[in-house]
């Protein structure tokens, strides 16, 4: 994973900084122009989200934030439950270490499904176009989260309570950023943009949660058959 991350970071299109800047200030411009075929000024959306996911994975894993979050999460689980699920938890941890970037990137298709369902009557976009839109949006939220994760990792030794906060702010980042995008792209009023961003996030996480549940069950069955 980190070899791929290094390859991309050393072979970036010149549009990366332009893409990051405009996704902060004029995200609707990036999406509109890319979908209209003006792709040269911008980073390819697939490369963009993979790069941001790689950055997030690097910060979370290499700086130990991911392991600290896992320990904090499982410390809240009853000991009896831990003892019966310890092997599965260890396998999941190993899997996430190896495929963390892929795991968080895989939310984009479910975000695209959510967008397609909610806005299917607002604009005539195909699923592929909604996917491109959400690759940029999820990628930008990952960049924001990576910056916050880096700052969090610096201050956790002095303020351990920040670890609990870090477990939840990714959802808030997604809601806030999507609110900003819906406000700019669809020109909704702020309150409507907030409600749609919340509904979009809820639907996305429900779909992604179902996917993770099914994948976890299959992983558990596979471990059981091999053990």
Q: What end-to-end distance do the CA atoms of the chain give, in Å?
A: 28
18 pLDDT tier (thresholds 50, 70, 90): very high
146 in Cβ contact with 56 (< 8 Å): yes
37 in the Ramachandran plot: left (φ > 0), alpha (ψ -120 to 50) or beta?
left
pLDDT at 68: 55
pLDDT of residue 60: 75
Close Cβ partners of 13 (under 8 Å, ≥ 6 residues apart): 42, 43, 44, 47
Distance CA 181, CA 198 (A): 13
CA–CA gap between residue 33 and residue 43 (Å, rounded): 12
If pLDDT is split at 50, 70 and 90, which confidence band does 10 have?
very low
Encoded tokens for 82? 């831990």
Distances (CA, A) of 178 to 41, 76, 124, 214: 23, 31, 19, 27
Would the CA dihedral through 164, 165, 167, 168 be positive or negative? Answer: positive
> Do 8 and 51 form a contact (C-beta atoms < 8 A)?
yes
Q: CA neighbours within 13 Å on the CB side: how many for 41? A: 16
Binned at pLDDT 50, 70 and 90, residue 14 comes out as: low
Can you tell me which residue has the tokens 């996480």? Answer: 205
- Selected residue with higher pLDDT from 162 and 59: 59
Between CA 221 and CA 90 the distance in angstroms is 15
Helices (H) and strands (E) in the chain, counts: 11, 0
Instruction: Determine what percent of the chain is predicted with pLDDT higher than 90.
Output: 41
């Amino acid at each position: 994973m980190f070899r791929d991350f290094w390859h991309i970071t050393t072979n970036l299109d010149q549009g990366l900084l332009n893409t990051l800047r405009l996704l902060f200030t004029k995200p609707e411009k990036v999406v509109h122009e890319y979908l209209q075929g003006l792709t040269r000024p911008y980073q390819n959306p697939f490369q963009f989200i993979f790069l941001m996911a790689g950055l997030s994975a690097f910060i979370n894993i290499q700086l130990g934030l991911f392991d600290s979050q896992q320990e904090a999460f499982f410390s809240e689980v009853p000991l009896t439950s831990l003892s019966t699920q310890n092997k599965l938890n260890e396998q999941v941890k190993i899997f996430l270490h190896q495929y963390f970037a892929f795991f968080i990137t895989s939310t984009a298709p479910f975000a695209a499904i959510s967008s397609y369902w909610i806005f299917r009557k607002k604009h005539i976009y195909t699923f592929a176009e909604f996917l491109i839109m959400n690759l940029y949006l999820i990628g930008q939220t990952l960049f924001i989260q990576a910056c916050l994760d880096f700052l969090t990792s610096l201050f956790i030794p002095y303020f351990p309570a920040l670890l609990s906060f870090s477990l939840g702010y990714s959802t808030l980042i997604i809601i806030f950023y999507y609110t900003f995008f819906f406000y700019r792209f669809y020109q909704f009023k702020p309150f409507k943009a907030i409600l749609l961003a919340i509904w979009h996030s809820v639907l996305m996480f429900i779909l992604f949660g179902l996917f993770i549940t099914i994948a976890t069950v299959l992983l558990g069955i596979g471990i059981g058959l091999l053990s």
